[in-house]
């Protein structure tokens, strides 16, 4: 008997069709992967199963959990199912966790709310769940808060909350998107082990085909709210009967066309950079301790060159980016952009700031949703030497920036919530380009995008680099992306550069053990299929 059976599930919101006749099954101990682009209906399928839908939603079809029909249950009855029989792991753990509560109280809350335990017994269940996901009591007591944990550790807390009561079905919605390759491998290993130990079904929603190839038994490919192809992973990935499946495969291995060039003039020069942070004291009389985030880091970027920076969470990548941009002050070393010093928030020349811009991982979070896109894109114009233009000149610059990234000038009048994830990232790039900087720092700028949108953004970045001569510092945990778009790469570990060189050489013949570990941990579609299915 199936753990979950979804039959002809359709969803509309205010007469807009979201899902259309979605059908699949998940058996005990089985992993079903759901893949598709943004907007294909993956997450809405999961929310429909749990009946966590907005107002004015109309849901039809059948959702059966172990013989219990869920589609007709009241919200009170569904509350008993959510968390007890069905667990949910969300994409962004920091927003899924309450920052004001300890991790122990949040995991214990699951047992307490469902009446399985209270007080000490709920704490015991929380401790057991955290131990099962690798957060042992000695280092991770129940009294720790989410902000004291890394991204991978917070995601493990989210998993512990979802599996505390050993549900029959676990839904994981992009559980590893924001994690580096080693943390991703660890989290996926935990999920696979929990499925094996508890015999629960797992629905794994992701845009990463390599993760599906490594993890799933069956796969459902979704496009525009419909399942266009489904079946065993080996069968679907070998035959690819539907054109959309073939498109996903081709874009997952996409490499932008880049003309080999010789780089002569150094643009950015970083020498022996040191950055320390004070560790909060537990007691007033304790001696002050420091965490060394950057330990003698040196790197350089030439005019028009794309350079990658890779490493695990906590290795110092974002700290280096903020220091290079002059947002933080280093305690040692020097940063020069075209020979001019960058000395933190108060020691950097105004003109130098115009030459550096940033594209963040979450474009929606980096924009003010109350302002139209035209005003958002125009924000850096105050950095221009002659002051921010006004009127028709300002509008012309905004239109040019939007058109450079493949958007229309009329998009300036719309708001950021009206765009897809890929379009928002294009708007973020347009904002960075409007002052024509010489260096753009991209901090995990494509990690949350699906494969087809990611391919479009990477092609855009490559074309802009060749046409405008802009340089990139590309910070990413996605080694495939770094390999595809950079000329050289630096590998950062615990604040130190452990390896550097031409990207192809470093990835093909890594010299440092840490680099080899990163490459081995990165999921690869071809390697996963060959490992699991041989001739697949």
Ranges 11-20, 252-261, 494-503: which has the least confidence? 252-261
366 in a domain, yes or no? Answer: no
Q: In this predicted structure, what is the pLDDT of residue 498?
A: 95
Of residues 25 and 95, which shows the higher confidence score?
Answer: 25
- CA 245 – CA 221 distance, rounded (Å): 7
Residues 6+ apart with CB under 8 A from 289: 278, 279, 281
Whether 146 and 241 map to the same domain: the answer is no
- Residue 185's contacts (CB-CB under 8 Å, 6 or more residues apart) are 521, 523
Residue of 115 and 168 predicted with greater confidence: 168
Residues 178 and 155 both lie in one domain? no
- Going by C-alpha positions, the residue among 387, 308, 383, 314 that lies closest to residue 348 is 383
The reported pLDDT for the residue numbered 349 is 73
What is the C-alpha separation between 412 and 376, in angstroms, rounded?
9
> Rounded mean pLDDT of 413-441?
86
Tokens of 112: 């307490």
Report the CATH number that the domain containing residue 239 is assigned in CATH.
Answer: 3.40.50.300
528 with 449, same domain: the answer is yes
pLDDT in tens, 18-36: 999 999 999 999 999 999 8
Would residue 401 count as lying in a domain?
no
Instruction: For residue 368, tell me if it sits in a domain.
Output: no
Higher pLDDT among residues 51 and 454, named by residue = 51
Chain mean pLDDT for the chain: 87
DSSP symbols for 409-468: GGGGGSBGGGS-HHHHHHHHHHHHHTT--SEEEEESTTTTS-HHHHHHHHHHHHHHHHHH
The 3-state DSSP composition of the chain as helix, strand, coil percent (nearest 5) reads: 40, 25, 35
Do both 229 and 286 map to the same domain?
no
Is the pLDDT at 265 greater than 70, yes or no?
yes
Q: Is residue 418 part of a domain?
A: no
Number of domains within the chain: 3
Which residue, of 123, 142, 166, is where some domain finishes?
166
As a whole number of angstroms, the distance between CA 510 and CA 526 comes to 20
Q: In which region does residue 326 sit, left (phi positive, over 0), alpha (psi from -120 to 50) or beta (all else)?
A: left
Are 227 and 313 members of one domain?
Answer: no
Task: Answer yes or no: do 134 and 180 share one domain.
Answer: no
User: Are residue 178 and residue 160 in the same domain, yes or no?
Assistant: no
In a domain, 255, yes or no: no
What is residue 135's three-state secondary structure?
A: coil
The average pLDDT across 215-234 equals 94
Asked whether residue 525 is assigned to any structural domain, the reply reads: yes
> DSSP secondary-structure letter at 14?
T
Phi first, then psi: what are they for 257, rounded to 5°? -75, 120
- Reported as a pLDDT band with limits 50, 70 and 90, residue 107 is very high
Domain termination residue (choose one: 166, 190, 205) = 166
293 and 328 part of one domain: yes
pLDDT of residue 424 exceeding 90, the answer is no
Residues 8 and 75 in one domain: yes
Contacts of 248 (CB under 8 A, 6+ apart): 35, 36, 37, 209, 221, 451, 452
Using the predicted structure, report yes or no on whether residue 411 has a pLDDT greater than 80.
yes
pLDDT of residue 409: 92
Once rounded to an integer, what is the mean pLDDT over residues 348-362? 80
- Assess whether pLDDT exceeds 90 at residue 301: yes
Predicted local confidence at residue 501, as pLDDT: 93
- Residue 395: predicted pLDDT: 92
Q: Are residues 192 and 336 in the same domain?
A: no
Exposed (0-12), middle (13-18) or buried (19+): which is 179, by Cβ within 10 Å?
buried
Residues 79 and 175 in one domain: yes
430, 402 Cβ separation under 8 angstroms: yes
Stretch 63-68: mean pLDDT: 90
Percent of the chain with pLDDT over 90: 39
So what's the pLDDT on residue 14? 85
pLDDT of 115 strictly over 80: no
**Separation CA 68–CA 82 (nearest Å):** 13
Average pLDDT for 53-69? 89
The residue with tokens 């917070």 is 154
Give the Cα separation of 457 and 95 in Å (integer). 26
- 10 Å CB burial of residue 345 (0-12, 13-18, 19+) is exposed
42 and 121 inside one domain:
no
CA distances from 495 to 291, 307, 366, 444, 516 (A): 10, 18, 26, 18, 18
**535 pLDDT above the threshold of 60:** no
In the chain, count H helices and then E strands.
20, 20
User: What confidence tier does 384 reach under pLDDT thresholds 50, 70, 90?
Assistant: confident
**How far, CA to CA in Å, does 360 sit from each of 149, 366, 427, 439?**
21, 7, 11, 14
pLDDT in tens, 116-162: 777 889 999 999 999 998 888 888 899 988 888 877 788 889 999 99
Enumerate residues 6+ apart whose C-beta is below 8 A from 359: 425, 428, 429, 432, 440, 441, 442, 443, 445
Domain span holding position 52: 1-85+171-250
Does some domain include residue 365? no
Question: What pLDDT score does 448 carry?
Answer: 66
Task: Name which residue leads in pLDDT, 314 or 83.
Answer: 83
Name the percent of the chain lying above pLDDT 70: 98
Q: What is the pLDDT of residue 398?
A: 93
Give the pair of three-digit tokens for residue 123: 């704490």
Q: Is residue 120 a part of any domain in this protein? A: yes
Spell 446-475 as b/e; 16+ CB within 10 A means b: bbbbbbbbbbbbbbbbbbbbeeeebbbbbb
- The model's pTM: 0.80
118, 143, 166 - which closes a domain: 166
């Amino acid at each position: 008997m199936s753990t979950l059976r979804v039959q002809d599930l359709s969803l509309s919101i205010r007469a807009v069709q979201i899902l259309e006749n979605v059908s699949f099954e998940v058996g005990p101990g089985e992993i079903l992967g759901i893949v598709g682009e943004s907007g294909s209906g993956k997450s809405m399928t999961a929310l429909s199963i749990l009946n966590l839908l907005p107002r004015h939603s109309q849901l039809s079809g059948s959702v059966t959990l172990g013989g219990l029909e869920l589609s007709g249950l009241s919200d009170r009855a569904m509350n008993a199912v959510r968390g007890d029989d069905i667990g949910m792991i969300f994409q962004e753990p920091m927003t899924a966790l309450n920052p004001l509560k300890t991790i122990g109280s949040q995991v214990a809350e699951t047992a307490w709310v469902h009446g399985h335990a209270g007080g000490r017994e709920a704490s015991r269940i929380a401790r057991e769940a955290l131990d099962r996901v690798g957060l042992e009591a000695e280092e991770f007591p129940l009294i720790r808060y989410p902000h004291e944990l890394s991204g991978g550790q917070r995601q493990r807390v989210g998993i512990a909350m979802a599996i505390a009561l050993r549900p029959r079905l676990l839904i994981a919605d992009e559980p590893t998107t924001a994690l580096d390759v080693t943390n991703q491998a660890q989290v996926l290993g935990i999920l696979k082990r929990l499925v094996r130990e508890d015999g629960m079904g797992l629905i794994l929603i992701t845009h990463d085909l390599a993760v599906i190839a490594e993890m799933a038994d069956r796969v459902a490919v979704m496009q525009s709210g419909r399942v266009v192809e489904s079946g065993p992973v080996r069968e679907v990935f070998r035959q690819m009967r539907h054109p959309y499946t073939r498109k996903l495969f081709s874009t997952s291995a996409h490499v932008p066309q880049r003309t080999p060039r010789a780089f002569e003039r150094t643009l950015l020069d970083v020498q022996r950079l040191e950055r320390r942070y004070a560790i909060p004291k537990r007691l007033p009389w304790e001696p002050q301790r420091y965490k060394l985030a950057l330990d003698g880091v040196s790197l350089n970027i030439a005019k028009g060159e794309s350079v990658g920076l890779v490493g695990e969470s906590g290795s110092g990548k974002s700290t280096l980016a903020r220091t290079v941009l002059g947002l933080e002050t280093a305690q040692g070393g020097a940063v020069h952009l075209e020979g001019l010093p960058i000395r933190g928030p108060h020691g950097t020349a105004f003109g130098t700031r115009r030459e550096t811009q940033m594209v963040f991982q979450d474009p929606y979070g980096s924009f003010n949703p109350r302002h139209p896109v035209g005003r958002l894109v125009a924000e850096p114009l105050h950095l221009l030497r002659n002051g921010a233009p006004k009127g028709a000149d300002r509008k012309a610059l905004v239109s040019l920036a939007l058109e450079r990234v493949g958007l229309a000038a009329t998009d300036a009048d719309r708001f950021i919530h009206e765009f897809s994830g890929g379009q928002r990232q294009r708007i973020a790039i347009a904002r960075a380009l409007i002052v024509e900087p010489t260096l753009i720092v991209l901090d995990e700028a494509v990690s949350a995008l699906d494969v087809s949108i990611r391919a479009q953004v990477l092609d855009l970045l490559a074309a802009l680099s060749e046409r405008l001569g802009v340089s990139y510092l590309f910070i990413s945990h996605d080694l495939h992306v770094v390999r595809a778009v950079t000329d050289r790469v630096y590998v950062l570990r615990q604040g130190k550069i452990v390896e550097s060189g031409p990207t192809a050489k470093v990835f093909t013949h890594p010299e440092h053990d840490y680099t080899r570990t990163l490459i081995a941990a990165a999921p690869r579609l071809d390697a996963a299929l060959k490992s699991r299915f041989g001739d697949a």
